[in-house]
């Protein structure tokens, strides 16, 4: 219960950091924000050392979660500010994919640190390593001599042509639902099919890696064909894969489908920032995407919890998979109805 609360708190703070990010980008320099991103996790260590669930909620849930979301949002903002439109998809896809690549690296680093240094020391070393990486990013940013203009961000409430984002929000929420359900329940799904612990560990690593690679490829596709056609194609493939889960009985084929669905998820979250930028224009993009991104936060809270509740009620994942399939089909229909044109 406590670990679930810590995770949920972190998820909410990642979402809030992206939602309010455009305010911070206007008021503070990127260098100051990058320094803050590197500092917050270290400050969080002091709370984590309180050895209570409240300390973990503050240290990991609030401080690390907010730092993580701020790093993601700021990276998207910087990339969108300096990249020409015809390469925007690849740039934003690369930013999103780097999130997953980082998860792959630290998923291998932390078990090593825990094994040789114990949990507490290993966790501290990992956090300091993460902060060092961020500071290296700061040095690279300053040496690049890139200049970000704060007046490129327009507040949506002051713009008479603020777009309606209901379909964008619903498309994102429904589009990532399947991926978040699969990621959140990969281990119990594999166990329910008779898979081993080593199967589960391998699958999770490959799911994360697949998500990263698919994100880069999806961004490249968005530059070639625009966002809508690749996104609809990807979501239709997602429907087929989720349907495959409903009839699958072999654990090896299950692992393939889980990796595929996680990769589809990575493609969706990589394309979506570019989709929003194309529809609303680069000046409104930062603030509008912050609102649209709350769909990811909502799906992250609801999807795994709802799937778990349905499993406990029915002692089977059949109803969860059927619900996910229905939602995946709705995602295709919503994206299909979005009016898409590239606004400069």
Same domain, 183 and 257: yes
Cβ-based neighbour number of residue 249 at 10 Å: 8
Q: What is the mean pLDDT of residues 46-65?
A: 84
Per-range mean pLDDT, top range of 52-61, 262-271, 314-323 = 262-271
Please give the pLDDT value at position 13: 95
Of the candidates 285, 292, 291, 286, the one whose C-alpha atom is nearest the C-alpha of residue 343 is: 285
| H-assigned helices in the chain | 2-19, 21-27, 30-48, 53-56, 65-82, 88-144, 166-184, 186-192, 197-225, 228-247, 251-280, 282-292, 294-314, 318-337
- For every residue of 16-52, DSSP letters joined together read HHHHSHHHHHHHS-HHHHHHHHHHHHHHHHHHHTT-S
Which residue in the block uniquely carries the two structure tokens 């713009």? 159
- For every residue of 280-311, DSSP letters joined together read H-HHHHHHHHHHHTHHHHHHHHHHHHHHHHHH
Cα–Cα distance for residue pair 304/127, rounded to 1 Å: 27
First to last CA, the chain: 47
**pTM of the predicted model as reported, rounded to 2 decimal places:** 0.91
Same domain, 172 and 278: yes
2 pLDDT above the threshold of 70 = no
Same domain, 31 and 129: yes
Same domain, 191 and 144: no
Please give the pLDDT value at position 3: 64
Please give the pLDDT value at position 303: 93
Say if 82 falls within a structural domain: yes
Helix orientation angle between 228-247 and 197-225, rounded to the nearest 10 degrees: 160
- Domain interval for residue 235: 157-337
Token pair, residue 268, equals 């969706």
**Percent of the chain residues past pLDDT 90, beyond the cut:** 55
**Percent of the chain residues past pLDDT 70, beyond the cut:** 94
Cβ-based neighbour number of residue 117 at 10 Å: 14
Give the model confidence (pLDDT) of 58-67 as tens digits. Answer: 888 999 999 9
Q: Spell out the residues 6+ positions from residue 331 whose beta carbon is closer than 8 angstroms to its own.
A: 171, 174, 175, 177, 235, 238
Say if 344 falls within a structural domain: no
Say if 343 falls within a structural domain: no
Please give the pLDDT value at position 45: 83
Same domain, 175 and 46: no
Say if 262 falls within a structural domain: yes
Last residue of a domain, one of 152, 178, 197: 152
Q: What is the mean pLDDT of residues 299-315?
A: 91
Please give the pLDDT value at position 160: 45
The CA radius of gyration of the chain, in Å to the nearest whole number, is 20
Q: What is the mean pLDDT of residues 237-257?
A: 91
Q: How many separate domains does the chain show?
A: 2
> Among 17-31, 151-165, 174-188, 239-253, which stretch is predicted with the lowest mean pLDDT?
151-165
Same domain, 14 and 56: yes
Same domain, 103 and 186: no
Please give the pLDDT value at position 163: 59
Cα–Cα distance for residue pair 270/77, rounded to 1 Å: 14
Same domain, 172 and 146: no
Cα–Cα distance for residue pair 227/340, rounded to 1 Å: 8
Same domain, 18 and 128: yes
93 pLDDT above the threshold of 90 = yes
Give the model confidence (pLDDT) of 131-163 as tens digits. Answer: 998 999 888 888 887 777 655 555 555 554 555
Same domain, 123 and 165: no
Q: Spell out the residues 6+ positions from residue 324 whose beta carbon is closer than 8 angstroms to its own.
A: 177, 178, 181, 242, 303, 307
Give the model confidence (pLDDT) of 231-245 as tens digits. Answer: 999 999 999 999 999
Say if 125 falls within a structural domain: yes
Q: What is the mean pLDDT of residues 7-35?
A: 93
Same domain, 102 and 210: no
What CATH number corresponds to the domain at position 129?
A: 1.20.1250.20
Please give the pLDDT value at position 149: 64
Say if 297 falls within a structural domain: yes
Q: Spell out the residues 6+ positions from residue 148 whose beta carbon is closer than 8 angstroms to its own.
A: 25, 30, 77, 78, 81, 82
Same domain, 100 and 142: yes
């Amino acid at each position: 219960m406590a670990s679930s609360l810590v995770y949920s708190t972190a998820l909410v703070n990642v979402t809030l950091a992206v939602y309010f990010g455009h305010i911070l980008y206007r008021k503070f320099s990127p260098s100051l924000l990058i320094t803050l991103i590197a500092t917050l996790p270290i400050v969080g260590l002091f709370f984590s050392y309180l050895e209570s669930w409240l300390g973990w909620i503050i240290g990991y849930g609030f401080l690390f979660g907010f730092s993580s979301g701020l790093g993601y949002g700021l990276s998207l903002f910087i990339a969108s500010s300096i990249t020409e439109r015809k390469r925007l998809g690849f740039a934003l896809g690369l930013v999103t994919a780097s999130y997953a690549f980082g998860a792959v690296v630290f998923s291998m680093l932390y078990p090593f640190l825990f094994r040789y240094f114990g949990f507490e020391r290993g966790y501290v070393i990992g956090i300091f390593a993460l902060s060092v990486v961020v500071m290296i990013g700061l040095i690279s940013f300053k040496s690049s001599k890139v200049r970000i203009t704060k007046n490129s961000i327009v507040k949506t409430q002051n713009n008479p042509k603020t777009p309606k984002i209901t379909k964008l929000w619903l498309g994102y929420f429904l589009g990532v639902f399947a991926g978040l359900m699969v990621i959140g329940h990969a281990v119990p799904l594999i166990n329910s099919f008779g898979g081993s612990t080593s199967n589960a560990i391998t699958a999770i690593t490959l799911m994360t890696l697949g998500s990263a690679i698919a994100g880069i490829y999806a961004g490249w596709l968005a530059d070639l064909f625009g966002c809508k056609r690749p996104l609809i194609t990807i979501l239709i493939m997602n429907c087929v894969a989720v349907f495959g889960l409903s009839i699958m009985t072999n654990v090896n084929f299950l692992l393939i489908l889980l990796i595929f669905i996680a990769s589809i998820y990575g493609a969706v979250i990589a394309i979506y920032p570019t989709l929003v930028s194309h529809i609303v224009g680069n000046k409104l993009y930062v603030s509008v995407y912050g609102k649209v991104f709350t769909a990811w936060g909502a799906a992250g809270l609801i999807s795994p919890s709802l799937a778990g509740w349905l499993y406990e009620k029915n002692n089977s994942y059949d109803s969860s998979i059927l619900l996910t399939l229905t939602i995946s089909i709705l995602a295709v229909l919503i994206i299909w109805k979005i009016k898409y044109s590239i606004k400069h």
